[in-house]
Structure 1
Amino acid sequence: MFYFVSENIFSFNSGTEFSQAKRVQLFNAKGQQAFYVARDYNPSFHQSAKQLGVPDNQLLNMYDYFQKALLVKHRQIPVRFARTIPKRDYHIDGIDANYSLIKFHGRIIARATIAPLTVGLMGNMIYYDRFGNTVATDYWDWRGFKSSTQYFHPDGQPGPQIFFDPAGRKVMEVIRMNISGQLFPTMYRLFNYHGRDWRFDSENDLFIFFMNEILSQQSESSVIINDRPSMIDAVAHIHGAMAKFQYLHDGHTVDSDNPLRGRLSDVLTPLFTADAPAFTGVITATEAQRKILARRFPKMAFYCAPDTFVPQQLLQTRPQSLTGRRLHHLIYFGRLSEEKHPEQVIYALSAIRKKIPDASLEFRGYASSSDFLASLKKIVADKDLSDAVVFADYAVGPVLWQSLDQAQMVIQTSTGEGFSMSLIEAMAHGLPAAAYHANFGPDVIIQNGENGFLVKNGSYADLAAAVVKVFQDNALWQHLSAGAYQTAHRYDADSVWRAWQQSGVLPDER
């Protein structure tokens, strides 16, 4: 039994969540029962998991477990037919597609918001006092039941939060106390769990108890792979697993150019110090990172296994020719955040357009903050590129695939990567890549002149020159595109599974 641990599944997911979801799919497809384990409370958890292709029977959310809601049949509860609103006494005033107001004799007493990506289904209910202050909010699980109620103090700060099972019984609460003028969770309480009440000081303490309970119920050996560095200390204190691993999705040092002696990322320091004895080993996506870590920490065990795989559906798709694409169109997809340096893509485009005047760029992903997105848009405007750059919405599946099939090249400006799922996914659509010569993923994935070009780390001028070279030579593009498709085929499910079998991580192989 395999448990892949994270915090959550989000509306906008990073490569870590995608990688974890892909691994769950792969292991189950190969006959190894595996679960996507999440600690955080999220009423939309199962909706988001569905978008990642993870079915309910491969999910294990801590709150679901204590709410007796691991496997709940999805029911559609429209706002207008929700029993929580007595129609005889209250009037429902539909404002728009996002919310309705609940009125009593003309006074607004509540606001019903529509669940994301649904039409008219209950999302949450916000209750007001006679002065318009929020007094409580009911959160509805996407599957169709009231999941929790969050109460608020008169000053707007959150008070207790009560959690319910699908039948409406109270099963859990979170208590907050005033610390330096702010209310923070200080107690997590379970009601009548196995006949008694339980109290925990933190969410991580509750998570440790939860995982210990899960493992104690298993008759077969269990393996935990933690995917989120923020969960390292909690996973270190879990007991009952045959083996525990930490998967590194990123580089391990602040300075990606100095992985052997550079300062460790703060979030990873416990893994290599106090919590190291609690882990069987650390898994990396590339052999290069594994070897460096083995040199740096000779007393620890390091393993290498792929970060992702390309689904057969994509590999069987007919290759997209250049005539079916938008000429001179670049795509950058993934998180728009400071450490990825997307502003350098804009600088590169400005240089490219001096040689290729109709070159264009599509950013496809979500921004780390609204301020950072605004800064990128300002650079676009300052460079007079507003007509050449599009900031497209975050997308997965067919919507993203359509963008990749229309582009001519993928471009990346990260100066350090643990792997790079985006490069592999782009190559599955025949896109040659232009990226920095960076540890660790791009150096492994990109072969100069075969499926793209690597340039000096941090040199967007060299990056622009590589793109111009490809855009000016259709025969070269055809050669690189064929190489990209070939690279993607090396990451098919069977090949990736063989790599896991040979990694030493699986119990039968150790």
Structure 2
Amino acid sequence: MNFFVNQYLVTKNSSIEHAELKRLALFNGHEPGSAKLLTQDFAPTLDQTLERFGLQRDAVINMFDFFAGTTDYVGAPLKVDGLAYDGDLQMGTGNNFRELKRGGRLVSEVHFIGGTVAQVGNVDYFDDAGNLTLRQIYDLRGFLAVNQYYGRAGELFYERYQRPDGTVYLERYYVQSTENTPINSLNVLKDYQGRDRIFYDQEGLFTFFLDEVNRAFGENNRFFADRPAVAINPILNMTSKVKRYLWLAMRAVDDGQDLATGSLDTMVDAALQHGRKWTGVVVATAAQAADLKPRLPKGLKCYVVNNSPVKVDRTPILIQDRPAQRVIAVGRLGADKQTDQLIDLFTRVHTARPKATLTFYGYGNQADMQSYQERVKAANLEQVVTFADYVVDLEPVYDQASLLVDASRVDAQPLAMAEALSHGVPVVSYDYAYGPSELVIPGQTGELVPLGNRDAFVKAVIDLLSDPTKLQDFSTAAYQNLTPFSEATTWQQWQALK
């Protein structure tokens, strides 16, 4: 069994989670049931997320579900009219939450799960002074999942997790940090296999979970540390028989350092100090492997496995059948993606090609997004440069795009770039490390521009948008040159790990 270890699967995911989803599909397409995603964080709406991404319930094992014994629990939605409360309370009205009052005093608030109609998500209780004292969180499947208790200053200090039958399986205690945020200080797994088990932090609890999953599947399974900050230490600290793999969905050196000789990222360096425990290190590109191999502990293997497997049998859509000059950028928006620079570059493109449009598909933090929107407004391009936020199904987006642009300065392998090419969308990108040079064929399926050469970037975009024949040739070539990162090639690469 192959287990991909992560912190969460949420409604808006990064490329790490999207790569995992592609891996699950790849493995289960070739060997059904041979791969699962393991997640750490409490997820009362996991079933909603699984449906959003088209996953079956058994594709993901969540730590809390595992210990509660609810991985295959079905249940039924709990609507607000099915919630029991004292008869002398008056319930207000509202689409997102309802207040319960006794006379004029607020007793509690019933909050609904987003995307549902009046389905109970959590119920908050308040004392006479209006302070939150208790929050009851309900699982999407209709049962009370956890009671959270708060102090007079609003601090979380204790949680009690329970099963659908009301029995408690986990107690968690918290202390406050200097920033007044809760720090988990004690976890008591109740009556697990006949006795209570104590863990002094969530990392220890997560490690135990990984060991128990490994034992449940006969041991000697493969565990991949996908999200390093959460997965590395728990996988290293497992005591059962296991094959450990460090998946580097990131550069291995500190930001700004030479990729071959610079100081290793602190987290990566710490992981490699335990070289004998790892079965292998996995990277997505040959270029990163070449930089990393000389720096690995003696005997530790480095495998190259494409992180962006694509289908090669799509029906081609001609450029003339797509909206003219529709340019897209796909992925998280942020400083490392140089989103602000891309807006500036496209401002220059639009001057030369007034009918061209740019749409960003992805999310960023609130402050960054506001800054980008203000930048667009200042350039008077609000009708030209738009932000479509996070979109789950991008296939229709790719099929209607003329060009994908990427002004990032670093990555491990751009998932969106491979997806775009598989839909016949040419690419203009900075030639950053790692990924573009192993996906794009310059002069055939797109153009790679020296990192930071803004004039060359703008010229490459303008030239393609100005020449529909060349754009069509690039699109045709994109459809025809997918073998290096196809699903079939990727599956062959995975076989090397066996």
**Do these two structures clear the TM 0.5 threshold for a shared fold by scoring above it?**
yes
Within a 5 Å distance, the mapping from 1:466-477 to structure 2 comes to 466-477=460-471
The 8 Å contact of residues 19 and 307 in structure 1, kept in 2 or not, is answered as yes
* Aligned match of 1:111: 109
State the aligned residue count: 494
The 8 Å contact of residues 322 and 399 in structure 2, kept in 1 or not, is answered as yes
CA distance in 1, matches of 2:418, 2:91: 49
2:206 match: secondary structure: helix
* Aligned match of 2:43: 42
CA distance in 1, matches of 2:75, 2:465: 49
The 8 Å contact of residues 414 and 436 in structure 1, kept in 2 or not, is answered as yes
TM-superposed CA distance for 1:141, in Å, is 1.5
CA distance in 2, matches of 1:74, 1:18: 28
TM-superposed CA distance for 1:175, in Å, is 0.4
TM-superposed CA distance for 1:47, in Å, is 2.1
2:92 match: secondary structure: strand
TM-superposed CA distance for 1:448, in Å, is 0.5
TM-superposed CA distance for 1:51, in Å, is 2.3
Deviations 1:366-398 (A, max 9, x none): 10x21111221222222222221111121111x
2:351 match: secondary structure: coil
Letter in 2 for 1:175: Y
**Structure 2 residue 331 is the aligned partner of structure 1 residue 334:** yes
CA distance in 1, matches of 2:387, 2:113: 25
TM-superposed CA distance for 1:257, in Å, is 7.1
TM-superposed CA distance for 1:74, in Å, is 4.8
* Aligned match of 2:7: 7
* Aligned match of 1:454: 448
Letter in 2 for 1:240: S
**Which of 427, 430, 452 is equivalent to 1:436?**
430
- What runs of 5+ residues in structure 1 fail to find an aligned partner? none
* Aligned match of 2:497: 505
CA distance in 1, matches of 2:284, 2:117: 41
**Structure 2 residue 168 is the aligned partner of structure 1 residue 170:** yes
Within a 5 Å distance, the mapping from 1:408-419 to structure 2 comes to 408-419=402-413
CA distance in 1, matches of 2:37, 2:47: 11
Q: When the two structures are superposed, what TM-score results if normalisation uses the length of structure 2?
A: 0.94
**Structure 2 residue 375 is the aligned partner of structure 1 residue 379:** yes
The 8 Å contact of residues 308 and 419 in structure 2, kept in 1 or not, is answered as no
TM-superposed CA distance for 1:199, in Å, is 1.1
Which of 349-358 and 485-494 deviates more?
Answer: 485-494
| CA pair 237-69 structure 1, distance change in 2 beyond 3 A | same
1:339 match: secondary structure: coil
Within a 5 Å distance, the mapping from 1:43-192 to structure 2 comes to 43-82=44-83, 84-85=84-85, 88-96=87-95, 98-180=96-178, 182=180, 183-192=182-191
The 8 Å contact of residues 439 and 485 in structure 2, kept in 1 or not, is answered as no
**Superposed CA RMSD:** 2.0
The 8 Å contact of residues 257 and 438 in structure 1, kept in 2 or not, is answered as no
* Aligned match of 1:254: 254
* Aligned match of 1:353: 350
TM-superposed CA distance for 1:463, in Å, is 1.3
CA distance in 1, matches of 2:53, 2:145: 22
CA distance in 1, matches of 2:341, 2:247: 29
1:123 match: secondary structure: strand
* Aligned match of 1:229: 228
The 8 Å contact of residues 237 and 278 in structure 1, kept in 2 or not, is answered as no
TM-superposed CA distance for 1:459, in Å, is 2.2
The 8 Å contact of residues 256 and 439 in structure 1, kept in 2 or not, is answered as no
CA distance in 2, matches of 1:181, 1:310: 45
Letter in 1 for 2:435: G
CA distance in 1, matches of 2:315, 2:335: 36
Within a 5 Å distance, the mapping from 1:279-358 to structure 2 comes to 279-297=278-296, 299=298, 300-311=300-311, 316-358=313-355
Deviations 1:68-109 (A, max 9, x none): 111111522222223x445x443332212x222223345332
1:340 match: secondary structure: coil
CA distance in 2, matches of 1:90, 1:491: 61
CA distance in 1, matches of 2:269, 2:50: 30
1:135 match: secondary structure: strand
* Aligned match of 1:213: 212
CA distance in 2, matches of 1:72, 1:262: 49
Letter in 2 for 1:212: D
Which of 220-229 and 445-454 deviates more?
Answer: 220-229
TM-superposed CA distance for 1:306, in Å, is 1.6
CA distance in 1, matches of 2:76, 2:476: 46
The 8 Å contact of residues 443 and 454 in structure 1, kept in 2 or not, is answered as yes
The 8 Å contact of residues 8 and 45 in structure 1, kept in 2 or not, is answered as no
The 8 Å contact of residues 80 and 92 in structure 1, kept in 2 or not, is answered as no
Q: When the two structures are superposed, what TM-score results if normalisation uses the length of structure 1?
A: 0.92
TM-superposed CA distance for 1:137, in Å, is 1.1
CA distance in 2, matches of 1:302, 1:189: 39
The 8 Å contact of residues 114 and 120 in structure 1, kept in 2 or not, is answered as yes
Deviations 1:323-373 (A, max 9, x none): 332222211111012111111211110111221122211111110x21111
CA distance in 1, matches of 2:80, 2:422: 42
- What runs of 5+ residues in structure 2 fail to find an aligned partner? none
